Each structure stands twice: as structure tokens, then as C-alpha cells.
Amino acid sequence: MGYRAGYKIHLNHYHLQFTARYRIYK
């Protein structure tokens, strides 16, 4: 767990930031 869970959470956070930015631009 630990490392993989943290990595998944990090990717999810990055994806949320990207989608939010995309919505603002569109």
C-alpha cells in the first residue's frame, strides 16, 4: 500500500486539476 496509494492519489489530484483548468478554458 503506502507508496502505490500515494501515487494513485497524486495522479488523481493532477487529473482533477487538469480537468478543472480545461473547463475554465473551454
The pLDDT value recorded for residue 5 is: 84
Instruction: Report in angstroms the alpha-carbon separations of 5 from 1, 13, 14, 23.
Output: 6, 12, 14, 27
Place of cell 497524486: 10
| 26/22 Cα distance (integer angstroms) | 6
The pLDDT value recorded for residue 1 is: 58
pLDDT tens figures, 1-26: 577 888 898 888 888 999 988 887 76
The pLDDT value recorded for residue 23 is: 86
